[in-house]
Chains A and B, each alone.
Chain A
Amino acid sequence: RKEVEQDPGPFNVPEGATVAFNCTYSNSASQSFFWYRQDCRKEPKLLMSVYSSGNEDGRFTAQLNRASQYISLLIRDSKLSDSATYLCVVNIPGGSYIPTFGRGTSLIVHP
């Protein structure tokens, strides 16, 4: 079983829609959680960190559920420019800081 699991999608939504992605992680001792965005043939870039109490950045909301070992990303009022792959990243504990990536969830926002 992979350490970090995501539904690859694609999620195909119209502009203005609300869409949510989940990501599960296997190591209950994991401490740090992030969402990265990757555009086609580009490098991943940090979208937002995920805090225990949940956090919001504009149209994006991230939440962490430690009991069920998953994190989520909610995008409200989707824009065409939100089309990308969203990567769930978990720091797997073990002494060193090792960002471990899920396979990514593809989002396509259409007019």
Chain B
Amino acid sequence: AQSVSQHNHHVILSEAASLELGCNYSYGGTVNLFWYVQYPGQHLQLLLKYFSGDPLVKGIKGFEAEFIKSKFSFNLRKPSVQWSDTAEYFCAVNGGSYSSASKIIFGSGTRLSIRP
């Protein structure tokens, strides 16, 4: 069965600390991978995505993620977090076929709290 696991439910960091949020997936075949962010009181928005090519993906606001196929992982990183990064982060995966719609499955989310 398709699934996405996010290891940390709640992460608390101080400003300027480095961040890494774990994401592992279970999905047969080619995958597309996403990280979405939900700021307090707002709807989800795309942070970055991987479809193919360079496994190190750069996103908005200084975030990046690395696709490691052998580990079925797509961890999110940021070298120096800011208070404004306080949000909930969701990893998501779906099938890589462009022929039709496919399920986009989300992980349970990681709440990130940044201490000023």
Question: Do the two shown chains form a genuine complex with each other?
Answer: no
What is the interface of chain B, defined by CB distance below 8 A to chain A? Answer: none
Chain A residues packing against B (C-beta within 8 Å): none
